[in-house]
Chain A
């Protein structure tokens, strides 16, 4: 029995697996375009969505991904579960494991929870966002979206990417920086000093106007007001004036630039143009590709291993 594999962070997964997963995502995207977008690959497997934090697209995306692979799904809505009666995380996980779960998809406000939970269960763990730390499936779907726009390029050498906004509180920024850097892109973080981590994971600057006309990818982050202490950004419209994608900045974007946002968007805060009128926007492609990327991760963890030897003529 080989050791149970997980998908918890980009650096843990590594570049070889990332490349393989991007290829598998291509298959899953083709499945999603079929008249019947469903395959029997994970019949009989059970995937449990454990979301301790609010989510629309990630939870729905994982749920849809599991269903398109014919897996059974359980979704724990924390608002109506025994967590509210004081059941510990460990008891919750052990209880659900005892019901026969093959993979847990976990979102939690505390960084490191997916590693902690892996100690309590034999199921595979997929990190759907832990605190400020990591959101690796978002990174995978973003890399896939860029790769598709580049015509399937296997390397992002020379691609210039600006990740703009609340980098400090953003697990998305961390995971996206890791995956794009791994694939060869030049990533620059653009944020007010107060919204950069103490040790930024890439070169940083504080002036969006400096870069907006040059970048290949403009990746906007959501202003995370729910994680925000006081005093990090000035009030009023100053943040928007300096760091949002405004109509004036949108006009300076290159025609072949890509505008991305992990969602949900704070319209009027980090973006004041309507992305649906912006030819460079890939924001809805990101949502569509999210299902395929998550199918790839789930299939890779639950469907691609085995002990029989590979045979070519069967």
Chain B
């Protein structure tokens, strides 16, 4: 039996984004050199929402998106196809990149994104912001800004949108 559980509502998502925006500003005092980059696809709306909040609280920073398909380590193992063209609005040399994704899972997509970012320049630092950290990392990668830590099982899937966070999974049936 498939179960569906809403773990965050729209208000929770909005509050998490506001808090993370404050944390990003606090960590990068004055926001000098900060560039917010959303990862295709799920991270793009979140990056735009974070950039919007940061602009309301402090000031505008450049915001773009990055598609990591061509840097993935599973090319040839699963069907892949690039989704949307990468848009890096400014040179990344000496920038403070805030990489944004909706869900942090194995860490492999983040690793691919780190490789991709290196092709645009040498940032002073790269930080990672995710709305949900669901665990099960396969690489030594950790987030700097987290909306919600959400322990999951490997068989579950996590759907994130501006309207909330939903976990779906096969009910093991031995509660």
Contacts and interface: CB of A to CB of B under 8 A. Distances in A.
Interface stretch (B10-18, B29-37, B103-111): B103-111
Contacts of A309: 78
A39 interface: yes
Interface string A35-76: 111111110000000000000000000000000010000000
Contact of A313 (B70, B120, B121, B157): B157
Interface string A286-299: 00000000000001
B78 A313 contact: no
A38 B121 CA distance: 13
B70 A39 contact: yes
B119 A39 contact: yes
A314 B79 contact: no
B71 interface: yes
Interface stretch (B44-52, B55-63, B80-88): B80-88
Contact of B79 (A30, A31, A305): A305
A50 B74 CA distance: 29
Interface in B2-40: none
Contacts of A3: none
Interface string B117-146: 011110000000000001000000000000
Nearest to B91: A35
Contacts of B90: none
Interface in B148-165: 157-158
A306 B71 contact: no
B75 interface: yes
B172 interface: no
B74 A26 contact: no
A1 interface: no
B79 A27 contact: no
A80 interface: no
A42 B80 CA distance: 13
B148 to A, nearest CB: 15
B69 to A, nearest CB: 7
Given A27-B82, A35-B121, A38-B119, A314 B76 contact: no
B120 A39 contact: no
Interface string A276-293: 000000000000000000
A313 B153 CA distance: 13
Contacts of A237: none
A313 B108 CA distance: 10
B171 interface: no
B70 A41 contact: yes
B77 interface: yes
A306 B105 contact: no
A26 B67 CA distance: 12
B115 interface: yes
Contacts of B103: 313
Nearest to B102: A313
Contacts of B157: 312-313
Name the residue among A35, A39, A313 with the largest chain B CB count within 10 angstroms: A313
A34 interface: yes
Given A35-B120, A299-B70, A314-B108, A41 B75 contact: yes
Contacts of A23: 82
B80 A303 contact: yes
Given A306-B79, A310-B78, A311-B78, A27 B86 contact: yes
Contacts of A35: 91, 119-121
Given A313-B105, A314-B105, A306 B85 contact: no
Given A310-B78, A314-B108, A34 B85 contact: no
Contact of A303 (B76, B86, B105): B76
A306 B80 contact: yes
Contacts of A312: 42, 157
7 contacts: A27-B82, A34-B120, A304-B75, A304-B81, A311-B78, A312-B42, A313-B158
Given A26-B85, A42-B75, A305-B76, 20 more contacts: A23-B82, A27-B86, A35-B119, A36-B120, A39-B70, A40-B115, A41-B75, A302-B76, A304-B80, A304-B81, A306-B76, A306-B77, A310-B80, A312-B42, A313-B103, A313-B105, A313-B134, A314-B74, A314-B106, A314-B108
